[in-house]
Amino acid sequence: MTATIDGEIAIIGCGLVGRAWAMVFARAGRRVRLYDADAAIADAARGRIAEGLADLQRYGLVDDVATVLDRIRTEHDLGAALKGAAYAQESVFERVDVKRQIFAAIDRVVGPETLIGSSSSGIPASAFTAEIACRDRCLVAHPVNPPHVIPVVELVPAPWTAPATVAAVRGLMEAVGQAPVELTREIEGFLINRLQAVLLMEAWRLAEEGYATVADIDRTIADGLGLRWSFMGPFETIDLNAPGGVADYARRLGPLYQRIAASCTEHRVWDETLIAKVEEQRRRQLPAGELPQRSAWRDRRLMALALHKREETKKDKESDDAD
Amino acid sequence: MTATIDGEIAIIGCGLVGRAWAMVFARAGRRVRLYDADAAIADAARGRIAEGLADLQRYGLVDDVATVLDRIRTEHDLGAALKGAAYAQESVFERVDVKRQIFAAIDRVVGPETLIGSSSSGIPASAFTAEIACRDRCLVAHPVNPPHVIPVVELVPAPWTAPATVAAVRGLMEAVGQAPVELTREIEGFLINRLQAVLLMEAWRLAEEGYATVADIDRTIADGLGLRWSFMGPFETIDLNAPGGVADYARRLGPLYQRIAASCTEHRVWDETLIAKVEEQRRRQLPAGELPQRSAWRDRRLMALALHKREETKKDKESDDAD
């Protein structure tokens, strides 16, 4: 379908996100070079990646840690990290001047064979690649944290990104087992944060106006809408929810949804009073001191869910093959 | 915590939703009476419930079909179905005159010991219980289909519903393994359809304006946001996504989300041109003739996910007990 990129991968920035990207590429068989402007962070990265891979192995998501780890090496020079690389994934601190600086540095040493994706979650590539020579080979490749467990990656081209760049990075992401989605042009929040934003704004409004508790609003998703959404998107969900498919559904329920959306146009700022109200309810459910343990629980559940989905997808394929 | 209702359950209306409710109560050990104004539907219901229970058994969600089925009997008289029942779940056709008629009929024969929940997905209880004597014992108890696989139930009181009614029905729903959420008062779309509405409206707008394909927007949820939302709600998700919890997150990201939401205030009607655009993309992914098979796939995946979540929750409890 789409071209895929063969060759080695450079990880630029070895924080949480960069290390997760290293696992994504290395477990899929790619050779990976790690680079961080802070040599201490670069030196510590491989060890922390080993821990992350061991976690994945415990949950059945990686077969052999040593083999995967063998594909990863550290480079202390940006040029050496990029030399001949097929693709570089940048994951430095999210501030426009920091992004500009690293892309300028990349531009000075990168060869013509390397495409460059930024993990930027909000700053569009047009804000930090406008003036560099390799800008047609740059785009945003925004993951959801952590990308070695949550597969979606948003590919967002700047106006000058070459279509071939988007196609090749899409192919690479598919090839390494991620789930790329492609925007045709830049928009604030891309897809992921836009969809999250509208849902959060309505959830906060319902809590503010006292229609339900924070815990009950959460349950509406976690024991309701979120179940189907963990393996089908919202369009497929409604396509299967009316006898005549999505068009039938849209004609029946469109007017209701438009009325609801039209009643949500006042976008109150989350001020300190409202934040305190939500915070107080959350802290009764989970004391602040237990946030780290609960985050570890979340990661464990995400890994268990990833394995569950992998097994179900395998069953789907076997059943398709049997047809 | 809350009082629970002991005693038998009346199912009023034996369509898809009513039959699913019968499975919910009977598998939890309750005795269930089935009633439908159409005697042929009532007579066929128990056999179709047996098929549904056999499906649940195949996915490890019911142990013994015969035992569960033994708890269910059919009554051809509304008074007999309700006599001495602790709770009645109404699931007739969703039209206000039909709801009014059945609630008036219930009111004529129901005893003072019976609470009554309506499966209404959109019509509030105030629209069909205003003039009946038992109105303080009526509320909406809205499930997501199918309720024997998706546990959330919205409890929505009318202005005259007694607080004790809400508390008792909440306790019953918890006791039979559902996940009740409680609204303090009526609002169009309740919680579930409001949260779905804002997400769908933005998804349709992004498709309309050509930012991404329908398939890629779906992937954003199914391989991204929907994973965490299948076991945590949106508040818990953001509470774990900043070092200082939800307040920290709200201060950092609130302004971005408010800007995004403020850019979504034009609520275009899903007109036939737009519906045709989405329909065309969906039909390329899934021909109309395959909708029924895909719906069966969805139900299979929901049952597998329900089992997965049950097993993970058990592990969570074991690990808590070990602490």
B247-262 confidence digits (pLDDT tens): 999 999 999 999 888 8
Distances (CA, A) of B293 to B70, B149, B282, B283, B304: 31, 18, 15, 14, 17
What's the mean pLDDT in B62-85?
97
Q: Which of A150, A156, A217, A257 to mutate to test the interface with B (most CBs of B within 10 A)?
A: A257
Residue B217 — pLDDT band, cuts 50, 70, 90? very high
* Res B263: pLDDT: 82
* Res B323: pLDDT: 61
* Res B1: pLDDT: 44
DSSP letters, A212-254, are S-HHHHHHHIIIIIHHHHTTS-HHHHHHTSSTTHHHHHHHHHH
* Res A283: pLDDT: 96
Q: Do A225 and B229 touch (CB under 8 A)?
A: yes
Look at residue B2 and tell me whether its pLDDT is greater than 70: no
Phi, psi of A12 (to 5 degrees): -105, 105
Please give, rounded to a whole number of angstroms, the shortest distance from the CA of B141 to a CA of chain A: 13
Q: Do A305 and B227 touch (CB under 8 A)?
A: yes
Q: To which residue do tokens 């202390």 refer?
A: A76
Please name the CATH architecture into which domain A192-285 falls. Orthogonal Bundle (1.10)
CA distance B31 to B45: 15
Stated pTM of the model: 0.95
Determine contact, residues A148/A52, Cβ cutoff 8 Å: yes
Please count the residue pairs, one from chain A and one from chain B, whose beta carbons lie less than 8 angstroms apart. 353
CA distance B19 to B148: 9
Going B24 to B25 to B27 to B31, the CA torsion angle's sign is negative
What's the mean pLDDT in B34-52?
97
Q: Do A188 and B260 touch (CB under 8 A)?
A: yes
Q: To which residue do tokens 């959404």 refer?
A: A229
Contacts of B294 in chain A (CB under 8 A): 240
Determine contact, residues A212/B183, Cβ cutoff 8 Å: yes
Determine contact, residues A303/A61, Cβ cutoff 8 Å: yes
Q: Residue A243: CB partners within 8 Å, gap ≥ 6?
A: B291
Average the pLDDT over each of A39-48, A261-270, B81-90, B153-162 and give the range with the smallest value: A261-270
Q: Is the CATH code 3.40.50.720 the one for domain A9-182?
A: yes
Look at residue B3 and tell me whether its pLDDT is greater than 90: no
Strand runs labelled E in B27-102: 32-35, 72-74, 87-90
* Res A263: pLDDT: 83
DSSP H stretches of helix in chain A: 16-27, 39-58, 65-70, 78-82, 96-109, 163-175, 192-208, 214-220, 226-229, 234-239, 245-262, 272-285, 291-322
Please give, rounded to a whole number of angstroms, the shortest distance from the CA of A22 to a CA of chain B: 19
Contacts of A206 in chain B (CB under 8 A): 187, 191, 194
Q: Are strands A152-157 and A138-143 parallel, antiparallel or unpaired?
A: antiparallel
* Res B322: pLDDT: 72
* Res B261: pLDDT: 85
C-beta neighbour count of A222 within 10 angstroms: 24
* Res B319: pLDDT: 84
Contacts of B285 in chain A (CB under 8 A): 236
Determine contact, residues A227/B150, Cβ cutoff 8 Å: yes
Geometric angle at alpha carbon B271, from B223 and A266, rounded to 5°? 70
pLDDT tens string A140-159: 999 998 899 999 999 999 99
Look at residue A267 and tell me whether its pLDDT is greater than 80: no
pLDDT tens string B253-308: 999 999 888 887 666 789 999 999 999 999 999 999 999 999 999 999 999 999 99
pLDDT, mean over chain A = 95
Smallest Cβ distance to A262: which of B245, B267, B282? Answer: B267
Q: To which residue do tokens 């040493």 refer?
A: A109
Domain boundaries, chain B: 9-182, 192-285
Contacts of B286 in chain A (CB under 8 A): 236, 239
pLDDT tens string A84-139: 999 999 999 999 999 999 999 999 999 999 999 999 999 999 999 999 999 999 99
Determine contact, residues A139/A164, Cβ cutoff 8 Å: no
Report the percentage of chain A scoring pLDDT > 70.
Answer: 98
Q: Which of B235, B248, B272, B309 to mutate to test the interface with A (most CBs of A within 10 A)?
A: B235
Please give, rounded to a whole number of angstroms, the shortest distance from the CA of B237 to a CA of chain A: 9
* Res B25: pLDDT: 98
Could you give the angle at which helices B192-208 and A245-262 cross, rounded to 10 degrees? 110
Report the percentage of chain A scoring pLDDT > 90.
Answer: 90
Q: Do B199 and A203 touch (CB under 8 A)?
A: no
